[in-house]
A and B are shown apart, each in its own frame.
Chain A
Amino acid sequence: MPAISFQSVSKTYSSAKGPFKALDGVSFDIGQGEFFGLLGPNGAGKTTLISILAGLSRANAGRVTVMGHDVQADYAQARRQLGVVPQELVFDPFFSVREALRIQSGYFGVKNNGAWIDELLESLGLADKAGANMRQLSGGMKRRVLVAQALVHKPPVIVLDEPTAGVDVELRQTLWQFIAKLNKQGHTVLLTTHYLEEAEALCSRVAMLKQGRVVALERTSELLKAASSNVLRFKLDGELPAALAAQARVTGRIVQFPAHDAGEIEQYLAAVREAGLHAEDVEIRKADLEDVFLDVMGAKA
C-alpha cells in the first residue's frame, strides 16, 4: 500500500477570465518511508494538489488516498494519517505555544500526549517559548510551531508545503535534521520547495509539475544522471549578447551554460571574448537538480 496515491486528479477553478485548470490528470504514488519532493514553478498546481490531499479542497475528478484511506469518503482516517505544515505563516493569536499544541492534539483525540508535546518543543527549539503567546513569536518561531502542530498526533505521513520560505539558515538546518530523523524512523515525507538544492539533498524521488501536469517523475539520482551535461559557470563584466543569453542561465553577473564537451566550452568562451567581454571565476561543475528542473520546464527555450 502506498503512503499517498494520486489517481487522475483534476481540479478546475472558475475565475473571472473563465475556467482555469489547476490540475490535469495527475497520477503518482509515494511509497511508505519515502522522502519525496514535489517541484514546480509558481502556479504549477503544487499547493492545489496538497490542498486536495489534506481535504482543504476537493478534486473535480480522480481519487486521492493516504495509507489506503480515501481523502473524501474516509476523510477522518485519512487526516489522522496526515500531518500538514501549511505554506502560510498562520497562527491563532489567543493561545500560547503549549496551548496551541495541546488543542491541536485534542482535535485528534490523542490522550496523555504531554510527553510527546514536550519532546516536540525540545526538538524544535521551542522549549523556552512554551508559555509565550503566539503573537509574541518571530516568523521563524511561528514556523517551528506550525511544524510541531503538524506532528502533534504522530502522523505516519508528513507534508511540508514550502516550509523554508523566508526562514533563516539556522532554522532550516534544525528543521531538516529533525525531518530527516523522522524520515529515518519510518515517516513518509512529502515536500514542496523552491530551494532545489534542498530537494536534491533530501529527496530520494521527485515529481515535477508544470501547468497542472506531471512532467517528470524519477529518482533524484536518475534525474541527475540523465542530465549528463556539465555546466560552464563564470562571472561576466558586461551584458551578454542576446543570442548567447537565450542559451544561458543568467543570475546577475553569473552566467551558466550547459556544456557537453570541451569543444562547446571553447565555443562559449570564444563567443564571450568576441563580444568584447571578460569572463572571470571560470569553473565547470556537474549539473544539479536546478539545471534539470530548468531543462524540464523549458525555461531556457
Chain B
Amino acid sequence: MSEAGERGGDMLGWQTLLYKEILRFWKVGFQTVAAPVLTAILYLLIFGHVLEDHVKVYGTVSYTAFLVPGLVMMSVLQNAFANSSSSLVQSKIMGSLVFVLLTPLSHWHWFVAYVGSSIVRGLAVGTGVFLVTAWFAKLSFVAPGWILVFAVLGAAMLGTLGLIAGLWADKFDQMAAFQNFLIMPMTFLSGVFYSIHSLPAFWQGVSHLNPFFYMIDGFRYGFFGVSDVSPWLSLAIVGGALVVVSAIAVHLLRIGYKIRG
C-alpha cells in the first residue's frame, strides 16, 4: 500500500480527495469488498437452492440466473451507500474531517470525490459479486451498455444518498437507522429476489413508487433483454431521482450543513 501512497502528490485537489476516499476503503478491502461478496454468495446459495426448482421468471429465465443480476445490483447499491456515509460519519466523529474542511476544495469538489469513490466501491464489489455468482448460473448479456449505465447511475444515487446521510448523522446509530429503516427495505422491496409481476396488483403499484425498483429492473434488462418496465422509463426515473438528490447534496455541502458551524 505504501506504493499507492507515493502517488498522492501530483494531482488536483478534488482528484486527491477522490483518491484518498478510494484508498480509504481499499486499505480495508477485506471488510469493504470481500465481505459483501461473501454475503451475496450466501444469498445466492440459499435462495437459489430453495427456489431454483419452483420459480421461472419471464417464462424462460431460471431463478438463479434471475437472482444473479439482482444480487450484483443490491451489492452495488448497498456498498455505494456505505462508502460515502461511513467515511463522513467516521471522520466527523474522529474529527479528521477538519483536514478536508481546511482546504480550498469547493462543494462541487466534495460532491464529485465522495460520490465518485462510492461509485468505484460499488462497482468493485458488484464486479466481485458478479465474477463469483456468475459461476452458478447461465447468464446472457443482451445489452451490456444498459448494464453499465444502471450500475453507475445506481451507485451514484446511493453514493449521493450516503453523502446526505453522512452529513446528517452525528452518531453511528443514526447512520445505522438510516441504513436499516430506509436503504435496506427499499433495496429488498425493489425486486432483487422476485419479479414484481409475481406480486398482487396493489403491491406492484407500490413497487412502482420505489426508485430502487427501476435501477434493478433496468440493470436486469441489460442481461436478459426482458424487464418489468421499459429501460428508457427506468433511465428517466433513475436519472431524474439522481438529479434531485444530487441537488440536495450539493446544497447541503454548499451551506456546510452540520460540518461548518
Our count of residue pairs bridging A and B at CB distance below 8 angstroms stands at 106
Q: Is the CB of B261 within 8 A of A104?
A: no
Distance in angstroms from A60 CB to nearest chain B CB is 11
Q: Does A109 contact B (CB under 8 A)?
A: yes
A residues less than 8 Å from B11 (CB atoms): 106, 109
In which size bucket is the chain A interface?
Answer: 35 or more
Q: Is the CB of B8 within 8 A of A131?
A: no
Which residues of chain B have a CB within 8 Å of any CB of chain A? 2, 5-6, 8-13, 15-17, 19-20, 23-24, 27-28, 91, 94-96, 98-106, 256, 260-261
- Select from chain A the residue with minimum beta-carbon distance to B91: A92
A residues less than 8 Å from B105 (CB atoms): 107
B residues less than 8 Å from A32 (CB atoms): none
Q: Is the CB of A90 within 8 A of B96?
A: yes
Distance in angstroms from B92 CB to nearest chain A CB is 11
Q: Does A219 contact B (CB under 8 A)?
A: no
B residues less than 8 Å from A271 (CB atoms): none
Contact of B260 among A55, A84, A105 (CB under 8 A): A55
B residues less than 8 Å from A96 (CB atoms): 2, 5
Distance in angstroms from A78 CB to nearest chain B CB is 8
In the complex with contacts A51-B261, A94-B27, A114-B99 CB distance below 8 A:
no
In the complex with contacts A54-B102, A55-B102, A106-B8 CB distance below 8 A:
yes
Q: A99-B2, A112-B9 are in contact. List 4 more A-B contacts (CB 8 A).
A: A96-B2, A102-B9, A103-B99, A111-B10
A82 to B256: give the CA distance in the assembly, Å.
19
Q: Does A57 contact B (CB under 8 A)?
A: yes
A residues less than 8 Å from B102 (CB atoms): 54-56, 79, 82, 84
A55 to B96: give the CA distance in the assembly, Å.
15
**41-66 of chain A: CB within 8 A of chain B:** 51, 54-58
Distance in angstroms from A67 CB to nearest chain B CB is 13
Q: Is the CB of A106 within 8 A of B19?
A: yes
Q: Is the CB of A94 within 8 A of B104?
A: no
Could you jot down 17 A-B contacts, CB within 8 Å?
A: A13-B261, A55-B260, A58-B261, A79-B104, A80-B104, A88-B95, A88-B98, A92-B96, A96-B2, A98-B5, A100-B99, A106-B16, A107-B13, A107-B100, A109-B16, A109-B104, A110-B9
**253-286 of chain A: CB within 8 A of chain B:** none
In the complex with contacts A56-B101, A90-B94, A92-B99, A111-B13 CB distance below 8 A:
no
B residues less than 8 Å from A112 (CB atoms): 9-10
- Select from chain B the residue with minimum beta-carbon distance to A93: B94
A107 to B10: give the CA distance in the assembly, Å.
10
Distance in angstroms from A238 CB to nearest chain B CB is 46
Q: Is the CB of B94 within 8 A of A113?
A: no
Which 4 residue pairs spanning A and B have beta carbons closest together?
Answer: A106-B16, A102-B8, A90-B95, A76-B104
